[in-house]
Structure 1
Amino acid sequence: RQQHPDFFQWLCVDRLMLCCPPGTYGPDCRSCAGGPRQPCSGNGRCDGDGTRRGTGLCVCSPGYGGPFCAECGDGYYEASRNKSHLVCAECYQACGRCTGPEDSSCLRCKRGWVLHEHRCIDIDECGTEMAHCRANQYCVNTEGSYECRDCSTACIGCMGAGPARCKKCNKGYWRDGAKCLDVDECASAEEPVCTGVQEVCENTEGSYRCVCAPGHIRRDGQCVEDKPPDAPEKGFFDDVTDDEVVVLQQMFFGVMICALATLAAKGDMVFTAIFIGAVAAMAGYWLSDRSDRVLDGFMKGR
């Protein structure tokens, strides 16, 4: 530490040669524009400052200019200056160059204004050939510029906003004095304009449309009654519950077993075998169903 008190200088600058002292740049650590003590007059930054890269040129802060950032840029004036520092402040919004903050201190105007007795006056582009709006648009003057806005849908060409500023009325409108009003095609037509079955006319802005009468919907291009589709007829067993199905199964098996038991009692070996098989199947089904219910009840009880 005693031998190298500035560890950064010793390691990064002298040994590794990756850095430069502040205010210098490039492979040889040359001084930045404006000198290493106050690069770019303190009003910007040196490109590559403190590194082995960069150009050493000044990148000025907003409002400052010149190779050393020692001048005020366009739209700014010199508010104060001493031997070591310069302060630039913003001009009045219309001024391109100025001597102070007031609108009367302009030396040059920005685009969209014109200089008159040291004041920048807004140009009304809409009253000159400077404005270029598309067909069916009108011009609106703004500070230092202009805007193009769309005419009303009632107009073909206009001189301002709204249907009272139309040069000509659009299709579907008629002129009432100075204003273009919507034509009610549904009420003004001598004959019905909607001729489809169960169609009615609905007036819209500048036009009309044919819609289905209340209680009807359009299907395949036709207006038909809006009613739910017919529900399928219920089958014979549709209303039978699960418990009733179980009872019917038991009754069926009971009748079958009784019939087989009667035939087996007569000594018919074939029916005896069928009877034994049916009883075993019925017992297996009953035990399986009963065990499922017991297990289900046990799980629910938990």
Structure 2
Amino acid sequence: MGVKRLHRNLLLAAWLWSLLAVQVHSCPDACIKCSGPENGRCEECRAGWILHNNTCVDIDECGTELGNCSPNSYCFNTEGSFECRGCDAGCVGCMGSGPARCRKCASGYRLTGFKCLDIDECGDRVLACHGLDEICTNTEGSFRCDCGEGFIRKDSVCVKKQLASAQEKGLFEDIQDEEVEVLQQMFFGVVLCALATLAAKGDMVYTSVFMGAVAAMAGYWLSDRGDRLIDSFLKGR
């Protein structure tokens, strides 16, 4: 029983010693070799860091030739490295983020104060769109010319939309009042001719209908003429 307890204690002591040894020999993140876990015990640093007084200090690559970025981007320092970030849209080359860190303003922008701000081409005195039927719309760094209402662009020019052709219109869409009256008279004339033809065959039903239609037409004609005579008489007075 005592042997088992001794064996268990030895295992526990070995485990604690190994854990302590790992903690003792673990180095700070920036170190790859050290004599202790403290920051001031580094002997060799990782890439992106430099040893100074046994401490690994971050290298600012943006202040050296290491931070070499493309012309329209700027260097941004990070822990142990750097990033190349794009300049503001209004910049041609920059020293940092935002429109106030531009080296030069891009086309469509002008220096206002210390910032490169968008030019409102549509608000300038000179007309940006040359066509009389075009509407100017300002965009970021530029503008566009849209055709006005009722116009479409054809061969780079705004032309008026064509009205619907006669075939696409309704049959009686553009008919005038006088034309309606003529069509009515023609219709009644055709009906009377048809009834007269049937009445000539001696059919009493069609003969009666024909006589009634003639009487109705005569009454309508006399009434219309009477209204016109009265109207002209009143106007003459």
Could you say whether these structures have the same fold, taking a TM-score greater than 0.5 normalized by the shorter chain as the test? yes
Instruction: Give the corresponding residue for 1:171.
Output: 107
Instruction: Give the corresponding residue for 1:112.
Output: 48
Instruction: Give the corresponding residue for 2:34.
Output: 98
Distance in 2 (CA, whole Å) between partners of 1:87 and 1:102 is 14
Distance in 2 (CA, whole Å) between partners of 1:107 and 1:228 is 86
Deviation at 1:135, TM superposition (A): 0.5
1:232 correspondence with 2:197: no
Instruction: Give the corresponding residue for 2:65.
Output: 129
Higher helix share: 2
Pairwise CA RMSD: 3.1
Distance in 2 (CA, whole Å) between partners of 1:109 and 1:96 is 6
Deviation at 1:143, TM superposition (A): 0.3
1:218 correspondence with 2:192: no
Distance in 1 (CA, whole Å) between partners of 2:162 and 2:81 is 61
Deviation at 1:188, TM superposition (A): 1.4
Counterpart of 2:143, as a letter, is: Y
Structure 1 residues 233-252: Cα deviation after superposition (integer angstroms, max 9, x where no partner): 568xxxxxxxxxxxxxxxxx
Distance in 2 (CA, whole Å) between partners of 1:172 and 1:81 is 67
Instruction: Give the corresponding residue for 1:238.
Output: none
Distance in 2 (CA, whole Å) between partners of 1:199 and 1:80 is 84
User: How do residues 149-298 of structure 1 correspond to structure 2 at under 5 angstroms?
Assistant: 149-190=85-126, 192-224=127-159, 229=164, 232-233=168-169
1:145 correspondence with 2:59: no
Deviation at 1:177, TM superposition (A): 2.0
Deviation at 1:155, TM superposition (A): 1.1
Distance in 2 (CA, whole Å) between partners of 1:210 and 1:149 is 33
Counterpart of 1:223, as a letter, is: C
Change (3 A) 1:93 1:213: farther
Counterpart of 1:196, as a letter, is: G
User: Secondary structure of the equivalent of 2:95?
Assistant: coil
User: Secondary structure of the equivalent of 1:107?
Assistant: strand
Change (3 A) 1:95 1:229: farther
Distance in 1 (CA, whole Å) between partners of 2:148 and 2:17 is 79
| Percent sequence identity over aligned pairs | 50
Distance in 2 (CA, whole Å) between partners of 1:233 and 1:178 is 61
Counterpart of 2:60, as a letter, is: D
Change (3 A) 1:180 1:96: same
Structure 2 regions of 5+ residues with no counterpart? 1-15, 172-237
